[in-house]
Amino acid sequence: MSDRQPATDLPAFGNDDPASAPPAGLQSATLGKYRILESVGRGGMARVYRAYHPQLDRYVAIKVLRSDLAEDAEFRARFQREARAVAALRHPNIVRVHDFDAQDDVCYMVMELLEGDTLKTRLNSYRLYGEQMPWGESIRVLLDILDGLAYAHSEGMIHRDLKSSNILLTRQGQAVIADFGIAQIVGGTQYTATGALMGTVEYMAPEQGRDGHSDARSDIYSLGIVLYEMLTQHPPFEADTPLAVLLKHVNDPLPPLRTCNPAIPEPLERVIRTALDKEPEARYQTAAEMRQALLEAAATAEIALPERISPPRAFTTAEAPSESVIVLSGSHRDQLAAADFADDDTDVTLNEKLSQAVAPASPETPAAQPPIARRENITGKAILTALGFVGVANLTALTLELSSARWSIFATGWPFEFLLCSAGLCLIMVATQCIWLFIPIVLIFGNGVLLSYSTLTGDWQRWSFLWVFELWLIAAAVLIPLLIYRRRPYARRFSRSAGIVLGIASGVLALLVAVLAAGASLFNALL
């Protein structure tokens, strides 16, 4: 038996979506020995009901998997196999599966019913009230989850879909992992073999998005995203489409935590950076290793760890009065800084959406590659285009210079190389929408302009005061992206716009400098 008491009721979190009502076939129906009482939630893979077992006088949660899958004989076989493995897990930090079965076209799992809220709901509550989850409590949540994860990994079970909505914070002050094995049951190994994807892209490890491969280190990456989210109140990689988010996981550097919140202790930032390394070999290799690193980080930062997690705000206590109950619907939902923070259900149609994002324009167009395998088509093509642009420009200038002794572009026009490099980086910035490329672009472009002036005029004496502009360049190059990055919805738009403007300016000035240098050399040769 679990040391946690089954709940007699579930807190209501304001889900007034009519779509969450139970289907007519299960309203007041029975599944096996269980009487369905009410719907308590739904996601991309399943719907959850509160139910009652009369013989045992026990309330349970029943997760009913998607009915369209139950018609597949291969799915039913996988359901029986994987559900049996999940039901064998026995750990206080993993939701207990009591039973599983299939009735008619319904496959379902019977789980313990816990009082509490999800970590996602708790974080939304903090966001709504403009508060921050205490560092110690964030670490305590992770320590509990890592305990359960270490046990599951030792039993050969990988979660594959860890996220804040799959972490339950119980009334007894524990963090518990939910939905273990569900991603494997619904997705199946044959999906990953064909490159298809399912899951929640904000928490997906690069190798999951790139190759469809996941192991224990993929779960550690997802848990690193959860810790990042607890400390900054948003996941590190956000974009307008699932494909763009996955590409960020694969290609983009981790946004600095302390630009979002300078108070975040540096030891915790180091833990997150290790957990979120792009290469699985460079991450923590086991949950136990990450747990030990978290404990050491807490000790170094002198963070006091609570014995238990604070009670959910949905319960009336001295620490959390009843008026603090969080409701994420209607006008209350509009108060959130980003309402889509609450919309991170597992997406079983993810691969279809990613394919549509890169669908061929006509029947004659070749079929699209797997989405993340095409990441080179964005960043890679941009880099090759930039290199080609710089190479062709240099080859043209060299050809003109060698064609006649009167032409001498590189002698005085060599700073146009700076401007060419700036234009190339702008191409990459437009393609990747990485705002941090603004820093080298501004520095290279600014120096190219200053050096072009000095070489073309031969006036190097003015550097006695021109060096001051270097300080302004550095300040502008660093401060502008830092300020804009805080307003994430505008950061990508700024990156694209700034890349286009600076790219055009760099290209035009590079051509102008080369022409002026060639013209000056020709004029001197004729004198």
343 is catalytic: no
> 146: closest CA among 220, 217, 248, 79?
220
> 433: closest CA among 479, 357, 356, 485?
485
Q: Collect all residues with Cβ–Cβ distance below 8 Å to 254 and sequence separation of at least 6.
A: 236, 272, 273, 276
Phi, psi of 268 (to 5 degrees): -70, -35
> 350: closest CA among 250, 203, 168?
203
Helix 119-128 / helix 216-232 crossing angle, nearest 10 deg: 20
Quote the tokens at residue 193: 């073999």
- Report the 10 Å Cβ neighbour count for 446: 19
Helix 463-485 / helix 488-526 crossing angle, nearest 10 deg: 150
Q: Which secondary structure element, helix H or strand E, spans residue 175, and what is its range?
A: strand 175-177
- Report the 10 Å Cβ neighbour count for 84: 12
Among residues 161, 179, 252, 347, the one annotated as catalytic is 161
- Report the 10 Å Cβ neighbour count for 197: 27
Q: Collect all residues with Cβ–Cβ distance below 8 Å to 404 and sequence separation of at least 6.
A: none
- Residue 177, strand partner residues: 94, 167
DSSP string over 129-159 = TT----HHHHHHHHHHHHHHHHHHHHTT---
> 201: closest CA among 161, 229, 166?
161
* SS3 at position 108: strand
Q: Which residues are catalytic?
A: 161
